[in-house]
Structure 1
Amino acid sequence: MQPLVLTLCLMGAAALIAVPLGIGLATALAGCGGGRLGTTVRRIAITMLFVLIALPLYVHAAAWEATAGKFGWLPLMQTSGNRFWFGGFPATAWIHGISGSAWVSLAILWAWQRLPRSLSDQGRMDLTPFRQWWVIALPAAAPAIATAGLWVMLIAGTEMTVADLYGVRTLADTIYLQYAFDPHWKPILQACVTPLLVGIPILWLIDRKLALPSRPTLGTTPWWSDDVSAGQSTRWPITTRISASLALAGLLLFLVAIPLISLLVKGGIVVRAADASVPTVPAGRYAWSWERFGITMSDAFSTFSAEYQWTFVIGIAVAVTATPLALIAAWWANGSQLRSRIGAGIALVLMLLPGPVVGMAVIFLFHNRGEWLDSLYQRSIVPTVIACLPRSLPATYFVLRVGYRMLDAKPTEAARSEGGTSWQIFARVELPRLFPVIFIAALVAATVATADVPSTLVILPPGMTTVGTRTFALLHSGVRYQVAGLTLGFLIFVALFAILCPLLYKRVWRNRVR
């Protein structure tokens, strides 16, 4: 009963942190206005929020440990290094809430962009900006807020990486510690049913309140826009813009910049003991050194080169496997409301499975099931790729479903009127236009796979470790310099990948249209 209570408490605490922060972020983003400067600021901020979502939870844990953990720079800079509050249940809820606030804010922005133009125009003529937010915008975003809040709760209830790090014995963590190799039906059933009770309202909200139309909705405009009909000008007050921009900068600094800077600080911090001879640092004091930072990063790339390689190999393998399967599923669900509901339900159920349960299922399928399967289990990444699919496949499927909904229906209807079969329409009409979305879906699949530590902890072949599993082990053992270097190195690779992908995409797309 205690793991169940802790799981429910963690889900509620994560939502209580994420929802107010998400509303504040979305409100600050809207308050920047609709001019050129406001649009630019909003694009930069939204990009940072997407980065916050894409970062695995173990990266968030490493960053906040470097900030306020037992050996973080904040406690070390105090008079006593033992003064730290970041640990246990509060730290677990905090990390889930900070990560989930990006989901909430982006969901609210999405809901606000779907407001009818007539409603937003009328509000701008009759109401002040605050009244617009309170009377129109906030109630209109209520279903999106509820859905995102429930989604944050689901992640907190099924993810055990952070909970295990801080000793919060949730249902998922209990399965990982006690039942991974000795299954028992009762805790497994509780761990699977509890998130399902939260997931059912999400399906209802998506189906009833947040369902996308079959075609892009025309005649809508964001309620923060300065452009109104009938040539009337109702620009947002300059004080509102300045206040919103300052609030946005402060929130993003708190959520993104401080953890990143903390990793940089932790990678180069120098400690001199009372009997040590470090001329540049007084005894018992702390300082930051470029030399120490360079050593940390050099050690990270040399010591953990295998972890980086295996992480990217697994990410690419999962992307290659999940993208075609998700594309077939999205094609099957397209054009039928019933099939779309079935696909969404199956995808959500797969995502609700706790990672340790998925790992146990893969072990059951491969271990001691014959020489061939046992060889795959011990000497290949096939079981690891399969274990990552329950998370990667649904995410890829939802991206492709959104891509399908954004397609113009006229070419498809024209091809159907000419007698084209479903396969011909898919191969010759829909697939070429879906290529950009397929590229994004593959990237999402790889990103989710690199973050899926709970499913892979118990099934990685002997001698193989990833960035996630190595970071998980180092955080548990109290190593700090290596964690900072490993995490920063991974972030460098992610940044390079994010820069190269658009360039490669443009070149490939240019070659395809010639």
Structure 2
Amino acid sequence: MISLPAFRSKLPFAAAAFVALAALLACGERVRGITLNTLYLAVAVALVAVPAGMLVALLLTKTNLPGRRILLAAFGVLLFVPLYLHAAAWQAALGVSGWLTPPGNGLDSWAWIDGWRGTIWIHSIAAMPWVVCLVAAATRRTNGEAEAAASLSAPPWRVLWSITLPSLRPTIAIATLWTIVGVAVEMTVTDFFQIRTFAEEVYTVAATGGFQTDKPLDDYAPQSPWLMNISLAAGTLLLATIAFTILLSVYRYLREFADRPSSRTWRWELRRGGRWGAGSLVLLVLLAILGLPILALIYKTGLGAQQTSDGWQRVWMLSELRAELSRAPGSHYREALQSLKLGLAVASAVTLLGIAIGWRFRTARRWPVVLLCLLSLALAVPGPVLGLIVIRLLNHSYDSHLYWLTQLYDQTLLAPWLVQSVRLLPVASMAMAAGFAGVPTALIETARVEGARWHQQLLRIAFPLTWRTVLATWLMTFALSIGELAATILVMPPGRPTLAIHLFNLLHYGVEDQVSAVALLLLGLLMLIATAVVAIVGWRRST
């Protein structure tokens, strides 16, 4: 028999599963096909990234691995590398005409990074750091006393299997769903390799005037744009229910552990050979994720023509590497300036809103269902779909009384600011909610009894304790804004694009010296910001 409280706790998840199934059935035949294609890709990525990420996280947090803090911080830095940079780096290494690709031409050329294989690999590489960081954060809340007691009568591997892993099941589920949603809402990699997914389909047909629905729907409701787009809405609702499950699980997790202190961590004391073997494995994974692609970009950037006895040949030269890196900032500074302006505006807006929403999550007496639903939609709407929605909202004809919105749409960064703010608001809100979870409930209740309002509690109690989290959230959203592409590419006004859009367009012509130089500089900037965020978060935990 299931108790009534247990039944009530599982009811939202059952309702989400029912809505997801109904949304899938409501999709038209074509939209259902690309939606199932999307889920196939997402599940394949999860099957690769989640087990590998779990293993790395357990090695870094549950063993006496040498240099585990530095290695974990390196995985935290990788969270900020956008998908198109992963794609550029791996194409430079193992794509057509890549550094390690066997020579060939025309139909005889072969590349390991191509098609479904390349799409799954690049998405898995990008998702693995998220899994590592989520599972590593959850291990700080496992029952260390129970693990230590069990280790007295059982081998360490059995302690991990019977105590540690069962306590991590909710986090593993969150990491899996996060991976699925992250793959489903992106079109960057699928556009490179021409894989038909939900977001890719919308992006591909956006230039033709909108999303074409199935013929039966067109016949039944030729005059109703809402009914004609019911398949599009149903596919988006399917992803939103998955996102709702993620956010609800995170919210419940933060509420449950808000005032619970971290217990003493139990670790598997590996012997010297095992320590260095496990450390080499983690370091190998880290080098495979980032080291090999960076070396490939450096190699492609430094390629130049040199005359030899056999004629002109392409060879790697340090002077060519220096020249390309020095020319890249001057050649692309206008695009970089656009990215910086947009990033400053987006980061400031979503951080302020994220503070308010995160504090609402911390102090709400009941489940904030409406907020969770809105954030789920913002998280799950594919970037191209969000771009189309904003175009419909801002783009009006000359004789419309809303034409002034069109002028803002054409002449300012309002549209890209809006789509990026919507996309990054769930991330900022959850980051601030995690920070506010460390504010003691006793202080909040005392202030509430003394008559302090919510904004007074926030400014006088929460902010002094969490200002480092606020700074880290701002830097994080700033870096993510610079790297955002899927929604921004459809709404960027005429003129100079952002650096992300400019680089994405160049990548379609191959990863050559100039493109590699831009990718290296942008990667260096994002990793510098990410290092600052990781340092701030680490400083907060150590103080």
TM-score by length of 2: 0.82
Paired with 1:489 and 1:141, the residues of 2 have a C-alpha distance of: 38
The correspondence for 1:154, drawn from 181, 191, 197, is 181
Provide closer, same or farther for how the CA distance between residues 64 and 190 of structure 1 changes in structure 2, counting only shifts above 3 A. Answer: farther
Residue of structure 1 in register with 2:95 after alignment: 69
Mapping of residues 4-403 of structure 1, within 5 Å: 4-30=35-61, 32-33=63-64, 38=65, 41-75=67-101, 82-179=109-206, 181-184=209-212, 185-203=229-247, 205-206=249-250, 210-213=253-256, 215-218=258-261, 220-224=263-267, 235-270=269-304, 278-279=307-308, 287-368=315-396, 370-403=402-435
Paired with 1:499 and 1:93, the residues of 2 have a C-alpha distance of: 27
Provide closer, same or farther for how the CA distance between residues 498 and 94 of structure 1 changes in structure 2, counting only shifts above 3 A. Answer: closer
Deviations 1:228-273 (A, max 9, x none): xxxxxxx432232122111111111111211122111111124x5x
Provide closer, same or farther for how the CA distance between residues 143 and 480 of structure 1 changes in structure 2, counting only shifts above 3 A. Answer: same
Paired with 2:43 and 2:537, the residues of 1 have a C-alpha distance of: 41
Paired with 1:284 and 1:120, the residues of 2 have a C-alpha distance of: 65
1:61 partner SS = helix
Deviations 1:106-131 (A, max 9, x none): 22222222111321111221222222
Instruction: Tell me, yes or no, if the aligned pair for 2:83 and 2:188 is still in contact at 8 Å.
Output: yes
Paired with 1:498 and 1:85, the residues of 2 have a C-alpha distance of: 30
Cα drift, residue 101 of structure 1 = 1.1
Provide closer, same or farther for how the CA distance between residues 479 and 409 of structure 1 changes in structure 2, counting only shifts above 3 A. Answer: same
Cα drift, residue 300 of structure 1 = 1.6
Cα drift, residue 203 of structure 1 = 4.5
Instruction: Tell me, yes or no, if the aligned pair for 1:334 and 1:340 is still in contact at 8 Å.
Output: no
Instruction: Tell me, yes or no, if the aligned pair for 1:63 and 1:263 is still in contact at 8 Å.
Output: yes
Residue of structure 2 in register with 1:457 after alignment: 489
Instruction: Tell me, yes or no, if the aligned pair for 2:187 and 2:486 is still in contact at 8 Å.
Output: yes
Provide closer, same or farther for how the CA distance between residues 426 and 437 of structure 1 changes in structure 2, counting only shifts above 3 A. Answer: same
Deviations 1:195-251 (A, max 9, x none): 13433543454456x3443534236133327xxxxxxxxx43223212211111111
Matching residue's letter, 2:206: Y
Count of matched residue pairs: 485
Cα drift, residue 417 of structure 1 = 3.6
Deviations 1:400-437 (A, max 9, x none): 11111111234333333433333332232223333222
Instruction: Tell me, yes or no, if the aligned pair for 2:145 and 2:266 is still in contact at 8 Å.
Output: no
Paired with 1:503 and 1:175, the residues of 2 have a C-alpha distance of: 39
Paired with 1:250 and 1:423, the residues of 2 have a C-alpha distance of: 48
* Superposed CA RMSD: 2.7
Residue of structure 1 in register with 2:440 after alignment: 408
Instruction: Tell me, yes or no, if the aligned pair for 2:428 and 2:477 is still in contact at 8 Å.
Output: yes
Paired with 1:262 and 1:282, the residues of 2 have a C-alpha distance of: 26
% identity of equivalent residues: 26
Instruction: Tell me, yes or no, if the aligned pair for 2:244 and 2:372 is still in contact at 8 Å.
Output: no
1:287 partner SS = strand
Paired with 1:330 and 1:287, the residues of 2 have a C-alpha distance of: 54
Instruction: Tell me, yes or no, if the aligned pair for 1:4 and 1:190 is still in contact at 8 Å.
Output: no
2:51 partner SS = helix
Residue of structure 2 in register with 1:509 after alignment: none
Mapping of residues 446-485 of structure 1, within 5 Å: 446-485=478-517
Matching residue's letter, 1:66: A
Paired with 1:259 and 1:3, the residues of 2 have a C-alpha distance of: 30
Residue of structure 1 in register with 2:27 after alignment: none
Cα drift, residue 399 of structure 1 = 0.9
Deviations 1:12-52 (A, max 9, x none): 1111111122122123324641xxxx4x6121111111121
Provide closer, same or farther for how the CA distance between residues 312 and 220 of structure 1 changes in structure 2, counting only shifts above 3 A. Answer: same
Provide closer, same or farther for how the CA distance between residues 321 and 201 of structure 1 changes in structure 2, counting only shifts above 3 A. Answer: closer
Mark the runs of 5 or more structure 2 residues left unpaired by the alignment: 1-29, 213-228, 539-543
The range that moved more, 465-474 or 444-453, is 444-453
Provide closer, same or farther for how the CA distance between residues 7 and 250 of structure 1 changes in structure 2, counting only shifts above 3 A. Answer: same
Mark the runs of 5 or more structure 1 residues left unpaired by the alignment: 226-234, 507-514
Matching residue's letter, 1:127: A
Paired with 2:530 and 2:476, the residues of 1 have a C-alpha distance of: 12
Deviations 1:146-188 (A, max 9, x none): 2111111111111011111111121111111113532441452
Paired with 2:274 and 2:536, the residues of 1 have a C-alpha distance of: 40
2:487 partner SS = helix
